[in-house]
Every structure is written in C-alpha cells, then in structure tokens.
Amino acid sequence: MPAGLENQSVNNADHGSNGTVLNWDNIVQMEQMVATDNALAGKTAYITNAAAAGKMKTTLKNDYQGGYIWENYSPVVPKGIVNGYDAYITNVLSTETKGTNTNCAAVFFGDWTKLMIGQWGGMDLLVNPYSLDTVGTIRVIIAGYYDVEVMYPEAFAAMMGMEL
C-alpha cells in the first residue's frame, strides 16, 4: 500500500486537535521549521488543494501588512506565490478530517528535490473499442503503480489539518 507524502514523518505544523487556523504566522512557521533544520534550499514550494488555495487567496496576511496569503495566481498554470515561494494546486490532496472538524485541508512546504518518486511494475494499458462504440470512441485505461519517499524529512513541513 503506497504511503504517500501525507503519511511520512516530516515537521508537523498542526496546532490543536480540531484543525489549524489559516493565518500568516502559521504559514511562516512552516518555512521556519524547514529553515531551522538547514533545509531551505533546492526547489522549495507550497502545495495544497483548490479549496485551501481558494481560502488563502481570500485571507489577508495580517492587519498591518497588505495583501493576501496566496498571490499572483496564474490561470494558465495552476500556481501562485506564497511569501515569495511558488505555490501549486493539486486535487490529489483531498479534504481532511482533523478531530471533529471534517473541513480541513493539507498544506505542504518543502524542498521538492528531496522527494523521491518510485514507479514499479509496468504501465498497464487497456484499449477498449467496445464500451463507447455507439459514439465512435475508443476508451483507453492506463494504470501505473507509484509511491513517494522523503529522502530528507527535515526538508518538509506539513499542516495536515488547515481549517477551511
């Protein structure tokens, strides 16, 4: 069973048992955790799902500093900027449950060159010309087997329960 990044032992940026409030201090703390471990190098970036990115796009950094946490969104490539670092959206990260809060999201920050992606087996390719034959379409199904391993856990910080 693939463990995925969510089940790796990395810096834990969660606060409380029912989710972590999205605010500027908690975002900066993720960077601080990685920097404290001397791992703030390489290809550092944030990654989260569309719901969390949307929340960050509408949440002000703080009362004294202008701007939103997620800035400079590009509709061409689903990415933006969070505190000067690239930020990416993927819906592979689903909505999480943290304690009694069922509306949380995972946010990761780290050096993505320290994440190894492994593929085993082969690519299974199934061409089915019959399932959609009434509309003149061929259905192609591709299956692959992948997992990830963190080569340097200190290079990542995870907030698994950010309140949406």
Dist CA 146 CA 26 (whole Å) = 31
Dist CA 20 CA 157 (whole Å) = 14
Per-residue pLDDT tens digits for 92-111: 888 888 889 999 999 999 99
Per-residue pLDDT tens digits for 30-73: 999 999 999 998 899 999 999 999 999 999 998 787 899 999 87
Rounded to two decimals, the pTM is: 0.83
Length, in residues, of the chain: 164
What CATH number has the domain spanning 5-112+154-163? 3.30.2320
81-119: buried (b, 16+ CB within 10 Å) or exposed (e) per residue? bbbebbbbbeeebeebebeebeebbbbbbbbbebbeeee
39 close to 114: Cβ distance less than 8 angstroms: yes
